[in-house]
Structure formats: structure tokens, C-alpha cells
A and B are shown apart, each in its own frame.
Chain A
Amino acid sequence: MHRRTLMLGSGAALLGAREAAAAGALSDPGLPAGTREVAEMASPPGKVKLIRLTDRPPNYETPLEAFRTPITPNNRFFVRYHLAELPTMAELKDWTLTLGGDAAAGTAKLTLADLRRLPAAEVTAVCQCAGNRRGLFSPHVPGVQWSIGAMGCARWRGARLRDVLKLVGMKPEALEVRFHGSDHGPLSETPIFRKSLPMARALDPNTLIAWEMNGAALPLANGFPARIIVPGWTATYWMKHVTSIDITSAADDGFWMQKAYRVPHGVFPAAAPFPSQDTAQNSPVTDIVVNTLVTDPVADSRVHAGGFEVRGIAWDGGSGIHQVEVSIDEGKTWQTAKLDKDLGPFAFRAWRHPIARVAPGPVALRVRATANNGAVQPDQLMFNPAGYHNNAVRTVHVVAA
């Protein structure tokens, strides 16, 4: 009775042609119709032209055009919060970081100046939401319906987390390092957003507590004044506005570790295990999976039948990109693309590939990446109920003329 062909007018139709082209991926027919209706270009404070999915809490994704460079500018970097009560710049002026926990040998309270006195380290790394491309799942699963832009790559500068932990020292029973930030839910009944890392990852020299992003202070919406950086792991561990760090002897049993961000056992092999968070039912989401994004040509655009270039980026969880291949015959044959400059194993790797003369008419471009650890993007979506790690090979349809 109430069956409807839902949502008159897609988001793209409401935007006007130029903005729709910029939104690109959000007119993707693979997204739920309701998502296409809700999504709009927006420039919230400190940001320019992102795609707004929700304003409260703020969830904004980066449009395709901003991935034409392997470093994502701070004002185009995506924004993701679970909980809607956010700290203000005024509150964060008095920011301090509390160190402790039952498996810490001592406690400490640091200011930003204290933190900046530690030796600084820098890493170029992709920050990608585990649910990036959830909106393109088939069948759809509930959650924030991200298209391709819940990710970005930046140069992060800060102190090594292990140097910070050394300030308090740890007991032999130390098992996890747990983070808490300053965003919370409007109702106190909602579980606080808390995340933990296994000791080995916390002590990894690449794991930072960063105060700088691409040479500038972190934008408010990306975790000002300091956030955790876990190169190679999905953004859920990259705690924003981190206010406390606890070394614990027990596995964190909060909702955001034990119930959310879980994947079925064995579907996504991880480089390093997180045994204290494995349960009989499932495992925690950890490593970013190998993936590519075609930035040019844009879907549904016209290309020259006389020849054109395919360009994009590829990335994985830190083994680095081995090769990127392009197919224009539905995957029967593959041509190897040229990889651009290497910005490090955790960064976006730009690539390009010239396509010679093609017959006028529709062209279906398929691109797949292989990581140095041997992982290849799958042809089919690796379905999982909460919609993580969508790295299925995609097809970009264009028309040659």
C-alpha cells in the first residue's frame, strides 16, 4: 500500500549541474535513494565543498575531485563523528591529556606544550573510515551511507605514542592502550566513544599522537588539538581530541570495541593480530584493505575515442602498492598502469594509464590494485553485516566519441 518509488529527485537533481559533477560519486545509482536525497554539497566551518550526509553529528565526505592529488588538503578532509556533543575551540584551549590506567606504572597530565617537547615524528598516511563505501554495499546495510570519500591522506606530525607512554611507564601485565576523546552523546545512556589498541600497535614507531596535519594545526573537525594516528589501521582507532590514554591489563569491553567495528573471522586477514579483542563471534576491524579509486575520467563523462588517460590513486594497510591494472574488456585482459611518486607505504599512491584508440560508444573501465603483501582487490564485494572494507573492483562507465 505504502510502497513508493522513493524520493522524488535525487540529490544530484537538486544540486544543479556543476555541483552535481563535483559531488560525482553521490549521484552513484549504487547508493540508497534516500542517501542521494539527503546528500548535498556544503562548506561547514573550516571546510570547503564537502558532501554532507548528516550535520548532527557531523558526517561529511570528500568529493572525488579532491583525490586528484595524493595529499588531501585539510579543508577538504572528511569529517566523521558518532556522537553529537562536540568540544568547542574555547573548551579545547584548556586541553590536557591524562595518562594512567591500572597497568601504567604512574600517572601524568600533559599540556600541548609538554607534548610538543617530545621528539617529533612524521608519517604520511591514509585515514580511512572502516565504513567507507558502505553506501555501495549490495544488499544495503544500515549505517552512515558513505560513498567513496570517507578517507583522506595527510602528512601527520606529532610525538610517538610510545614516547608518551614511557613518561608513565608500564607494568608487565599491560595488554591494551585505551583512548578517550572529548565528544560524547547528548544522553548519558549512550556508550562513550572509547577505543583501544593492542600493546604492540601502541608501541609501533609509526603510531603517533599528532598535533599537525599537512603542516598546519589539526582542523577542529579532524581532532584539534591532538589525535591518535595509527597508520595502516582504519580511522576508528584514530581518536580525535584525545583527552585520556590508559594502559590497561584487561581488554576494553565497551560497545565501540566489542560490538561495533567487528568483522566475521578470517574474511579479512590482518598483518598483525589483535587477540585480546577476538571473540567467538567475530574479530575487530583492523588493517585497511587494498583499494583503488579512479579520479579520471569521471563516471558518465565523454572521453576521446582517439585515446585518453585513466588516473587515480591506490592504497592499502601499509605493505604498499605493488601494481595497478586497468581493463577495458570486462576483466578479460589487464594492462599495467604507471605508478607515480611513492610517498611511503601508508600513503595514497597516484597512478596513470594511457588507453589507446577505442571504438566510439560505451567503455567500461575496471581497475584493480595488488599490494606488496600479495592481496588483490576482489571482483565481488566481501559482504559483512556492518558494511566494512568495501574494496570490490568497480567499473567506471564512460562514452567514447
Chain B
Amino acid sequence: MSESSQGKDTSGVTLGRFFAQAREGALTGIRCVGCGALAVPPKELCPECGARRWEPVPLSGEGTIASYTVIRVAPRGHAGDAPYAIAAVRLREGVSLLGRVVDVPLEALAVGLPVRFRPIVVKDRPAIAFGPA
């Protein structure tokens, strides 16, 4: 049996399922069965080794801010929320996620600040956020 025919949908972590779980407070990454590379869904092929077999792996949600900004001029759909903070957060496991930062004073934002995942809903859609660690 070829790699491709065994490999379909091995992790079960579709984009829709990832955000459904995130809404419940759980972050689920995917790990390549071939080489162990960790990624966030959705990915069909491993960018490191090309394999097509993934397994779900729970992520701690703990990390530090790698970079951040405060959006003051917002898109039409988010105008009521401004100003709001967005950060790239490097999780303890090594993958990074972009998210809103909530419950942290804007002037306390800093590269290296420890934060922890928390789910939010923006305009009826589940999204990633981080609060104080």
C-alpha cells in the first residue's frame, strides 16, 4: 500500500475541529509520524520530511510573546473593538500562534512576556487569545 493511500486524514485535526476544540479551551497541534515535526493544522504533507501521516498532540497553551502590536485603526468588522492587542506567541512546545492579548494592560506588553492561551469568540467565530500566564 502506498504512503498516500494510508495517509489520509490521519490526525483528524481539521481546521474546523481545531477551532471547535479551541472554543472549549483545548489547543491541539499535529505531529508528523515520520519525523516528529510539530505543526498547527491544517497541513496535508509534512514540510520537513514530506510524509502524510500526522497524529494529534495536545498543546499546553503556555508561551511567551515573540512580537506584538496594538491595532488602533481596525478593519470595518472589528472597529468597535479598537484598540486591541495582537501578539505572535511562541508556545513552550515550539510552535507559534497569533492571538489577541486580553486582560494585560497595553503598556505592559513586551517581547518575552509569559502568557497563556484562552479561547475567545470574535464576531461569533472562535479565535485564539492569550491572557496573563
On whether the two chains bind one another, the answer is no
**Which residues on B are within 8 Å of A, measured CB to CB?**
none
Residues of A within 8 A of B (CB): none
